[in-house]
Each structure stands twice: as structure tokens, then as C-alpha cells.
Amino acid sequence: MPPVRTPQRAIWWPVLFTVVLAFAMVWAVKFELAGEWQSRWAWPAVGYAATVLALRVGLALVGFRGDGALLALALLLAGLGLAIQFRLGTLALDNPARWSNYALPIGAGALWLTVALFRGPRVRALESFAVPAALLAVAVLGGMLALGQRFRGAVYLGGYVNPTEIVKALLVLYAANLLHVYRKAFEQPALPGVPAWSGGLVLSLAVFWALPMILLAAIRDIGLIALLNGTLLAMVVLMTGRAGYAVAGLGALAVAGLAIWKFVPHGAGRIGVWLDPFADPTGRGWQVLQGLSAMASGGLWGAGLGAGHPTAVPIASSDFVYAALGEELGYVGCGLVLLAYLLLFHRGYRIADSLRDPFQQALATGLTTMLALQTLFNIGGVTKALPLTGLTLPFISHGGSSLVTSFILLGLLLALSDQGKK
Amino acid sequence: MDAALPHDPVAWAAWLKGAFFVSLAWLLLLLWVRRGREALTPKRRVHRACFAVLALAFLAVYAYQATWQLGGFARPAFVDFMKKYNRRPDNPAKRMVRGEIRDRRGERLAYDDADFPGRRVYPLSAAACHIVGYVDATYGMDGIEAADHPFLEGTTTATRDEQARFGLNLLQSRAPRGNDIELTLDAQLQREAARLLEGRRGAAVVMDPRTGDILAMASAPAFDPHRLTPDLFAGDRERAALMNRALRGLYPPGSTLKVLPAALALERGEEPLLECPASGYVAAPNTPPIRDHEYYAALRRGGAWGGHGRIGLGRALAKSSNVYFAQLAVRLGPSALSEHARRFQFNERVTVYDGSARAIRAEVGRFPDLKDHQRAAAAQLAIGQGEALATPLGMTLVAAAIANDGRMMKPRLAARAAPEWLAGCGTPKAMRRLRALMREVVADGTARAANLPGLDVAGKTGTAQTPRGEDHSWFICMAPATKPAIVIGVLVEHGGFGSTAALPVAVGLLKRADSLGYFHSTPSVAPGSVGTE
């Protein structure tokens, strides 16, 4: 069946229209409170529209022919995220010099660069970047440990830049290559769930996978460890088609969870709060209970963007942005946002299914799974369905490093989607 | 933006929200419909299962989210948290409306103040404080407020009505409402019972013997459920105003218990004539003689009393002769007496109210398990002394069983529960005869003050000796004796003779019941048949 190419133009106007409606809700409340219109309120929306337009033009210039719907979904979510950040007051409208104001344009730029560099057949070049990527990841994590400062339990560099985010992209690239190189060992397991013996595989895993995990454990980023290993597991299961890995992986997860609960005080606290937040409602349980209170206050339809009180939730703008979403857009709005995410992941897996090359296929699978798991962990944590992992909500949470990384992951996926046709 | 909004954020903000939802939904639909016309064509279907698992995981999280976002009102700990720490002006936890408690005529006994969210109002105040109970942030809960807390909060789903309410609350989760409770109580009778007991310690219970409906249940001393204080919860529980004496107070039943040997004798068709001399009756060697109160009264006056002579069951009951019933008990057999007390549910707990959180239960009374050689103990128990104990509700139930031709109905407080048989305590013939004898007690015996014209009252007084202070005063009665519509049990702690303290309370209740029409309409006012006032 020959691929049908339809221009994606029709999709862009609804995306822009929807995002502007989200901004309009905030404007209405701000106008009501201030009694006057302030022109600086328009800047985030104008900036968003300009970014979208520039990206369209930029991608057309490099001859991009990939999956426009995927890009549209990501920009829709990023637009909603910007409207919410504007509403929460995270954007410093008085201080145009703050770089975090420009996270979205920077992310879009990173996306464009990624697509421009690796679009089409050039995506094969990524294979040779795999080992350097893993080395870079180890270097970044080591540097963080040496130079970073602790804040809210995590390690940051100056200005709250969090370079561990980029490790996600680097290690998923490495994992895709590992799967490709040691495909045989994975496909002929010694036991169900254990790949066949290969000295190279053991060495690679020890140096380029286990070492970063140890460094992450030292940084105390358990969420990222869970995310990376979950992604690796999904990639192995999908690429080999062997359920044994899934069983072994889930078993390992249970053992790891139990070990964290028993031996890691920091992790035990999080699991304890998850099991019973009411044991310490004004201490450890405070954040998750305030988040749930916000959602309960939103009810089915929500207060409307700008009309609720989501700033009562600690860190509402980053980790707990989903609670703000629940309060102001209600259960219905949350459902629509989740549908947007699911559509995005559906596109990602479709791209993986359309690729022939095993490395590229593994990469597409890994990228999509990583975004999907991060979304699931974040939303699960805020709704108390899962323990808190400290992961952000892709494209919506405040946090420049996180947003830029999400756009780079998406850029790689878009680059992969562009080379299916001759 | 977190300051309270000056006024409702304009109607067009709501329109904007609606437009946003429609626009977003339309966009997602568009993307889904056009998914096949994209530039890429899948060559395999490997990732379908993966996506399905992922979608299920998201669906599970989204469903779980609903249990907080929409069904949060059903999580008591969460509601507590929100009441304390959710500072939003439109806090849904503070807009929750707890269900009302109403009496059989629809009069409100407990409801949430519409003007002050979270404030509970008890129109009867102290008059119904024990049975209705209270719900308080500091002191917790009691009574029906505690027993049916989840039902009142609207978190239960046992019946179709509760499910409908629950579903409605899910949709209107920003203003949930609980279920209302209708009781068999009659607020008018309840007020009167509390008024008559004022200033004393004791309890009064009014029941419909045919259905088991509790029409009034008052206990004194009482407290104001709107003004709970720490002193209320301190000190001796037995003396505390918090205790519902009608259900929890175990007292020696005194002569009211004589109806038990009387009932047993009548079941056997015996009404023996027994010699009752002033010298009393010695049930067993080396035990003091049991004498009649007339003997002691004469002794105090410095005179002498000639004794009742040879009398039958009717006369003995009317005069409340200890000597007669002590002999009767020994004649009937101690073990048979214990057996008969068990038929009247002594040593059993009866459920008064089966709530969604817990049941309110009460003991009928305690009666030791006698062996046939324990003649002295049987003689003491037959006159209500010794180890026998009864609650005011328990003695009312005994009277209700006699009134309802031997069929003891389960005490019923919730109108939603159907009337239920509890136990068979005797044959209709024997019970009719016993009522006729009890009628004589009122017509020409110790309870003549209760002989209200036209009401055909039957009853039995009781005076129970206590280790310290004056005797406890008891009175159980029913009317009309031929086919009773009302049964009343009254206990006044340290009230002296049954006829002096307890009896006037019962008379007041009989008069009030008469004026409310309980003796004219059969059956009595059914709960729910009269509209809300």
C-alpha cells in the first residue's frame, strides 16, 4: 500500500485555536480581577503562535515530510502547558531576561535542530553516537555529583538547571544500539527472562547501564532509574517478542520496590506516604493530599483556567501541574488531556511499526515508551495511584531542562518518521 | 489570582470553558479520524499490544482519579483533611450536606444549618440527645449520628435509593448530599418524656407493641448536643449525662419482674390460692423470711398487720405480695423460672438500630441460670431482687410481649426497617389473662393513680431496693388492656415507691399519647404516612 501524503495544514489552525481559547479563559479572569487589560498578558500566547509558525516554516525549509500529527499533538500539549504556567504565574513577565521564559522556543529550536540533523537516511548516524552518548551520560552524572547542589531532595546545577534530564535521551539511544548489537543474545535467552551469555553484553551493561544507575542512585533520583529501566524492559520485550522478559522485569521491579522500602529511608518514606498519606497529613502527606484536594475542588467540569486556587498545592507548576489541571479543567478536561497523550503515544508506536531497521525500530519504541512511562508515573503519582517519583509531566510541567529534553526526544521520533519513504 | 474573586467570573468565562472543551474534543477527534491518512504506513502490528497495555494503565489511573476527584466525599479521612486544610472559599468538603434525621411525622430531629455550612442543628436539643446523638469535630460521634454516619454522609450504596444518591453526588461532586433518616420516634412524645424526667435520673420508653416501634426513648440527666464540654466526658461514666439509661442502665427490676412468674403460672393454667401470713415465707432453711411491704409499713407505724391471708394470683399481683410470689416461684420450680426469663430474652442483646457503621444494641436484662435446688434464690428473683437486672427498654419489651399476645416484636427505631418478630413469649390466652390481672393492679391495686378514665390502663409498679439511698422506682404499663396500642416503661433512680415517682411520668405520657390520637386510630400513625411539616 503506497503511503498517502496529505498536507498537515488543516491540523494547525485547530491547535492554535484551542490553545488561544485556553489563554482566553485566563485572560477573562485576570481582566475581571485587574479591571483593565494589560498588553503583557498577550506575550505568552503571541510567543507560542510565533514559535509554532517558525517551526512550521523551519521544518518546511529542511524538507521535513514526517508525522505532522505527532508534532501537532506535542505542540497542543505544550500550548496548554504554557497557558497553565502563565496562569500559575511561573512565567516572569516582568523579567524578560529570564531564560526559563523561553523554554518553549528553545525546545522548538532543539527539536528543529534534531530533525534537521537526523532526518531521513541520516538517522543511521545515530548508531555511531550510541557509545559516546552513554559516556556523556556518565560524565554528566559524575559532574552533577561533584558540582551540583541539593534542593528538594534532588541535585541541580546553578540556576536550577537539571542536566540529568538529557541523560534520558542519551541512554535511550544507547539502549537501542545495545539491543541492536546484541540482538541474538536477547532473542535466544538462556532462561526465560535472561539473555544468552555474552561477555560483550555483560561488560556493556555493567559500564554503560549499571554505572549510570549507581550514579543516579547516589543523586537519589529513583524516579529516573525506574523510568530508564522500565523503558529498557519495554524495548527488550517488544523487540524480541518474548514475554519471559516482562515476567522477569516485573519480578525485578517487585524485588527492587521491596528493597527500597526496607533499606532506603528516602524511598521508604515515599512508599509509606503512598500507602497511607493520612498517617502524616500535615507533613509527608501534605503535598499529595493538597493535590487531591485541588482535584476534588475541581469536580467534573473544573473551575475554569484561572478561576481556581491551584497555588495552594506545593510545586503546582512542575511535578503537580496535573492537580492544577484537574482543579481548573475538571475531570472532563483531564480526560481530554490524557486522550491527547494517548494519541501521541499511539503515533509513536505507529512510527516504530512502520520502520524496518531494527536499531531505528528499537529507538522509536524506546523514545515513545519513555515519554509514555514518564506521563504515567507523573499522573499516577499526583492521583496517588502510584508512589511519587518526582518525574515531570512531559510538555506541560514547568522546567526548562525537562521541556527541552522532551522536545529532543520528540525530534528524534519525528526524524525517524521522515525516512519511511523513498 | 488566589485572592477571592470580587464576583462571579462572568458568564462568558463559562462559555469560554465550554468552547475550549468542544474545540479540544473536536481536534482530538479530527486527529483520530485522520490517523490512516498520515505519511507512514505500519508494516507490522508489534506495538498494538503494547499500546493496549498502556491505554489500560492510563484508564486505570484515570478511573482511580475519579475516586478522589468525584468520589472524594466517600473517603472520610479525605473529607476530614479537606475540612481542615482546604482553604478554598468554595471548599467542597464544607459544602457537603449531611442527611437529616426526622421523626415519624417528618419533624426534623437533626439537620445541617443552611446558613452556616458544617453546623448541625438539633431542634429537640437535650430532649432527644441520647438517641439522636451528636457529631462533633472535637468530641466525635454518638447515637444514630454515629451508628449511621456513612449513610448520613451519602457514602453507602446498599439500596437503590442510596445508589441513586451516590451517583448524583459523583456528578455534582462539588456539592454532595447525604441520605436522610426517618425514625419511628414521635417528637411530641419524646419532648414530653424528656420534660417529665427533667431534674431526675432515669429513663422512659414508649413503644407500639404491635410493630415494636419506639415512639419515645428519653434518658435523664441529658445534655445539649450543641454545647459539648470536656466535663461531659470526664468522671464516672455511670453518673454521666452522656449515658443512655434506657439502653445501658441495668437496674434491679423490683416487683415489675413479678409478671414473669405470673406469666409462667398462667401458661400452665395455674392460679393457686396461697396462704400469705404476716410472718412471711422462708424459702430455705437458714434464710431470712420474705415479707410483704405492708408488714414493714405497720412496723414503722408501731402497729401490727394481719397479713393477706389466703389469696389468688390476681389479688397478689394487685397488692404486689412478696410472700405470694416467693412461694409461687418455688412452686413453679427455679429452673423453669430461669427458662421463662430466657424466653423473654433475658441474657440476650437486642438490636435497636442497625446502622451502616454499627448497630445500637441493648441488653434486655440479666437473670441467673437457676438449678432446682436454689429455692431461696428463686424466691428472691421472683420479686425482682437478688441477681436479676433489667434495662428500662428490657422491661418495656417484656410489657410489649404481654401486650402483643406473647409475640415480642423487635424494637424498631428506623422507619426503613420492616417490623420483625423477635420471640414468642407466651400464648394469647395466658397473656390476655395476665393483662386482665394487670388491669386490676391499676383499677384496684398499687397503681390506682394511673387509672385514667376511658383508657383502660393495665400496669405493674416496682420498687427495687438499692444498696445505698432510696429505692429505684419502676412502672410498666399498657393501654388499652384488651388490645394495647401503647406500652410504657419508666424507671426513676432512687425515686422511692413505684407509684410515687415512676407512675406519674407514665401517666403524663399516656395523656399525651391520648391527645395525639394513639388510642383512636388503629394502627397508630405509620411512619411516612404524614407529610413533612
What residues does each domain of chain A span? 117-417
Q: What string of DSSP letters covers B128-147?
A: GHHHH-EEETTTEEEHHHHH
Report the residue from B10, B23, B42 with minimal CB separation from A354: B42
Task: Work out the average pLDDT over B34-40.
Answer: 63
Q: Which residues of A touch B43 (CB under 8 A)?
A: 353-356
Contacts of B302 (CB under 8 A, 6+ apart): none
- Least CB-CB distance to B92: which of A68, A297, A385? A297
Chain A residue whose CA is closest to B60: A385
At B322, list the grid cell: 412478696
Among A233, A250, A273, A300, the residue to mutate for chain B (most B Cβ within 10 A): A300
Strands (E), A173-253: none
Tell me whether residues A335 and B5 touch, CB distance under 8 A.
no
Put simply, the answer to whether B23 touches A21 (Cβ < 8 Å) is yes
B497 pLDDT tier (thresholds 50, 70, 90): confident
Q: Looking at residue B238, what is its pLDDT?
A: 53
Could you give the CA distance from residue B202 to residue B245 in angstroms, rounded to a whole number?
6
Domain ranges of chain B: 76-182, 187-515
**What average pLDDT score do residues B442-463 get?**
91
CA A265 to chain centre: 27
A24, A241, A341 ranked by CB distance to B16: nearest: A24
Mean pLDDT over each residue of chain A, to the nearest integer: 87
Whole-angstrom distance, CA of residue B241 vs CA of residue B224: 10
Assign B218 to helix, strand or coil.
strand
Sort out which chain A residues have CB atoms less than 8 A from B172's CB and list them: 299-300
Interchain contact A417–B (C-beta under 8 A): yes
> Which of the two residues, A2 and B1, has the higher pLDDT score?
B1
Q: Which of B:430-459 have CB within 8 Å of A? A: none
Q: Tell me the shortest Cα–Cα distance from B164 to chain A, in angstroms.
A: 17
Report residue B39's pLDDT band, with 50, 70 and 90 as the boundaries. Answer: low
Strand (E) or helix (H) holding B309:
strand B309-311
Structurally, what CATH architecture does the domain formed by B187-515 represent? 3-Layer(aba) Sandwich (3.40)
What does the block give as the cell for A14?
Answer: 485547530
Rounded to whole angstroms, the Cα distance separating B527 from B374 reads 47
CB contact under 8 A, A353 and B46: yes
Cβ <8 Å between B9 and A29? yes
pLDDT value, residue A422: 41
Over residues A33-52, the mean pLDDT reads 92
Average pLDDT over residues A207-222: 87
Chain B contact for A353 (CB, 8 A cutoff): yes
Q: Residue A421: pLDDT above 80? A: no
The residue type of B331 is R
> What b/e readout covers B399-438, taking b as 16+ CB neighbours within 10 angstroms?
bbbbbbbbbbbbbbbbbeeeeeebbebbeeebbbbbbebb
| A65 closest CB neighbour out of B14, B39, B72 | B39
Give the one of B46, B61, B81 whose C-beta lies nearest to A293's C-beta.
B81
CA dist., res. B407 & res. B410, Å (int): 10
Contacts of B16 in chain A (CB under 8 A): 21, 24-25, 28, 304
Place of cell 410483704: B292
Residues B21, A336 contacting (CB under 8 angstroms)? yes
Number of Cβ pairs < 8 A linking chain A and chain B = 250
Report the distance separating Cα B49 and Cα A249, nearest Å: 17
With bands split at pLDDT 50, 70 and 90, how would you rate the model's confidence at B7? very low
> Roughly how many angstroms between the first and final C-alpha of chain A, as a whole number?
14
Top pLDDT among B302 and B401 is at B401
- Please name which of B322, B254, B336 lies closest in space to residue B288, comparing C-alpha atoms: B322
Of B30, B40, B48, the CB nearest to A354: B40
pLDDT at B209 over 90: yes
The reported pLDDT for the residue numbered B36 is 63
Are B16 and A234 inside 8 Å of each other by CB? no
Grid cell of A284 as nine digits? 509527608
pLDDT value of position A6: 43
Across the interface, whether the CB atoms of B46 and A238 are under 8 A apart is answered: yes
CA distance A214 to A34: 51
DSSP string, A258-272: HHHHHH-HHHHHHHH
CA distances from B110 to A251, B145, B159, B353, B529 (A): 54, 9, 22, 17, 20
Is A289 in contact with B81 (Cβ distance < 8 A)? yes
In this complex, the residue of A238, A302, A338 whose CB is nearest that of residue B47 is A238
- pLDDT tens digits along B54-63: 999 999 999 9
Name residue, grid cell 550510541.
A130
A292 interfacial to chain B (CB closer than 8 Å): yes
Query: Closest Cα partner for A140 from A177, A171, A178?
Result: A171
pLDDT digits (tens, 9 = 90+) for B283-295: 888 888 899 988 8
* Summary mean pLDDT of chain B: 88
B68 reaches A (C-beta below 8 A): yes
Residues of B in contact with A339 (CB under 8 A): 28
Residues in chain B: 533
**pLDDT higher than threshold 90 for residue B384:** no
A159 — pLDDT class (breaks 50, 70, 90)? low
Looking at the complex, does the CB of residue A180 fall below 8 Å from at least one CB of chain B? no
Q: How confident is the model at residue A74 (pLDDT cuts 50, 70, 90)?
A: very high
List the single residue in B with minimal CA-CA distance to A307: B9
Rounded Cα distance, A376 and A371, in Å:
9
Kindly report the CATH class assigned to B76-182. alpha beta
Specify the pLDDT at position B4: 44
Which residue is closest to A34 within chain B, CA to CA? B1
Strand partners, B218: B204
Q: How far is CA B332 from the centre of its chain?
A: 34
B22 Cβ under 8 Å from any chain A Cβ? no
Chain A touched by B26 (CB under 8 Å): yes
Task: Tell me which range, A148-162, A259-273, A275-289, is most confidently predicted by mean pLDDT.
Answer: A275-289
Give the B window 110-139 contacts with A, CB below 8 Å: none
Q: What is the pLDDT of residues B306-363, one digit of tens each?
A: 888 899 999 999 999 999 999 999 999 999 999 999 999 999 999 999 999 999 999 9
- Flag whether residue B168 sits within 8 Å of chain A, measured between CB atoms: no
**Residue B418 Cα distances to A25, B146, B348, B412, B413, angstroms:** 54, 22, 21, 8, 10
Task: Determine the distance in angstroms separating the CA of A402 from the nearest CA of chain B, rounded to an integer.
Answer: 21
